[in-house]
């Protein structure tokens, strides 16, 4: 028997789309024909396992079937074929205010929603203050929820769901409605769930968020499973597939952008020589070699760095640093000097880009321009990504 939290085995789900529909028996008799419809398969033979104690994402473009699959996992929808096996107490937050009655107060809806999710009145009584405190709607808890903003709905609904103490939590895109402070609280709650050995399944379009919080993802397209696997690798392939301007250079590196200017190379320099490894605390210069195929006014050059496991660590660009590049044409070099590289030993990826002054139009983005190895230097600290040179005293 599998020890996965959820096993999805050959799941298919069909919806019937009506083009002409008989609204009554009279209409059916008068028209002498059945309703005109076609079958739409939202899911086709989807199968994978979600490991216990993981944060797992369902990704895909609109209409890919990810929300339908999440509703099947939550038992809101029943598959037309296949099976879904769940192992553990489950709670779901799939729609803004799902399980809420608009005419009732927030207080009453906490009890209503909690009971729908399987909590007893005694459990809700004991957790009520914590639920309301996490949601941040204390001031409005006795007001009808029909007067709540969508953000207040989400905060209260999510707070109830997580206080069910589920072994499996299902969360749809609704968290995007919350403000930045609430999203940070949610991220911390997800981290707490992982430390406690719980499983979180999330649907989201925010790739940066998924890169930082997820262990594995399943990528769906037009109702079919494309692949499942380690989050960062699958997310990279998903992003590449969604772009029409992706290309690979002669060294196998992935670029995207309109191409009027391209990043030819990213060079790491220390002590006047090209390197691929430096020590913690040493100076590092990063050079972007570029070719502009036409004259471009006021371009913006940028750099970013990720850890080997995909954590976004740093970004810097010429616009933010008020370094004005008047124009570029032909080949050239720009460089960024880092006086002390305060990274712990490890392996890192350096990305480089050239964009327009608005930073919205990308001429070229080189995903892995260089790989940087960092070895022990000064200071020597215990762990993590950053070397902050902490000093003790008493």
Domains and CATH numbers, the chain: 6-241 (3.40.50.300), 249-375 (2.70.50.60)
Instruction: For residue 118, give Cα distances in angstroms to 73, 130, 199, 259, 365.
Output: 17, 18, 18, 56, 49
* pLDDT value at residue 190: 78
Which pLDDT tens digit goes with each residue over 201-252?
999 887 877 887 888 999 999 999 999 999 988 998 898 887 878 889 989 9
Which pLDDT tens digit goes with each residue over 337-389?
999 999 999 999 999 999 999 998 999 999 999 999 999 999 999 889 999 99
Helix (H) or strand (E) holding 209: helix 207-213
132 Ramachandran zone, left/alpha/beta (phi>0; psi -120 to 50)? alpha
Q: Return the closest-CA partner of residue 305 out of 200, 378, 198, 385.
A: 385
pLDDT cut 90: percent of the chain above it: 61
- What's the whole-model pTM score? 0.72
* pLDDT value at residue 29: 52
- Quote the CA–CA distance of 185 and 172 in Å, as a whole number: 16
DSSP state of 35: P
- Quote the CA–CA distance of 110 and 112 in Å, as a whole number: 6
The Cβ of residue 109 has, within 10 Å, a number of other Cβ atoms equal to: 24
Instruction: For residue 368, give Cα distances in angstroms to 32, 108, 254, 263.
Output: 64, 53, 7, 11
């Amino acid at each position: 028997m599998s020890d996965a939290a959820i096993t999805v085995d050959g799941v298919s789900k069909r919806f019937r789309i009506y083009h002409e529909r008989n609204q009554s028996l009279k209409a059916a008799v008068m028209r002498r024909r059945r309703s005109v419809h076609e079958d739409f398969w939202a899911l086709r033979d989807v199968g994978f396992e979600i490991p216990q104690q993981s944060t797992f994402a369902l990704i895909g473009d609109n209409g890919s079937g990810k929300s339908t699959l999440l509703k099947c996992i939550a038992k809101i929808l029943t598959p037309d074929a296949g099976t879904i096996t769940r192992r553990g107490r489950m709670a779901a937050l799939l729609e803004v205010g799902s399980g809420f009655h608009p005419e009732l107060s927030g207080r009453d809806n906490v009890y209503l929603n909690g009971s729908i999710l399987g909590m007893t009145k005694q459990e809700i009584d004991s957790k009520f203050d914590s639920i309301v405190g996490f949601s941040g709607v204390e001031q409005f808890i006795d007001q009808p929820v029909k007067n709540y903003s969508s953000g207040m709905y989400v905060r209260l609904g999510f707070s109830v769901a997580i206080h069910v103490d589920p072994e499996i939590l299902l969360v749809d895109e609704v968290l995007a409605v919350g403000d930045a402070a609430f999203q940070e609280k949610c991220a911390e709650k997800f981290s707490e769930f992982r430390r406690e050995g719980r499983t979180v399944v999330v649907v989201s379009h925010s790739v940066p968020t998924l890169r930082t919080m997820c262990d594995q993802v399943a990528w769906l397209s037009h109702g079919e499973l494309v692949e499942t696997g380690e989050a960062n690798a699958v997310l990279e392939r998903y992003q590449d597939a969604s772009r029409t301007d992706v290309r690979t250079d002669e060294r196998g590196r992935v670029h995207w952008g309109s191409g009027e200017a391209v990043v030819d190379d990213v060079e790491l320099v220390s002590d006047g020589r090209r390197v691929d490894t430096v020590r913690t605390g040493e100076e590092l210069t990063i050079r972007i070699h570029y070719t502009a195929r036409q004259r471009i006014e006021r371009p913006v050059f940028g750099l970013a760095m990720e850890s080997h496991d995909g954590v976004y660590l740093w970004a810097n660009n010429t616009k933010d640093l008020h370094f004005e590049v008047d124009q570029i044409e032909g080949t050239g070099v720009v460089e960024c000097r880092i006086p002390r590289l305060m990274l712990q030993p490890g392996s890192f990826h350096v990305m480089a880009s050239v964009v327009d002054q608005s930073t919205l139009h990308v001429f070229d983005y080189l995903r892995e321009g260089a790989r940087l190895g960092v070895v022990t230097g000064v200071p020597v600290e215990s762990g993590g990504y950053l070397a902050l040179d902490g000093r003790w005293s008493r």
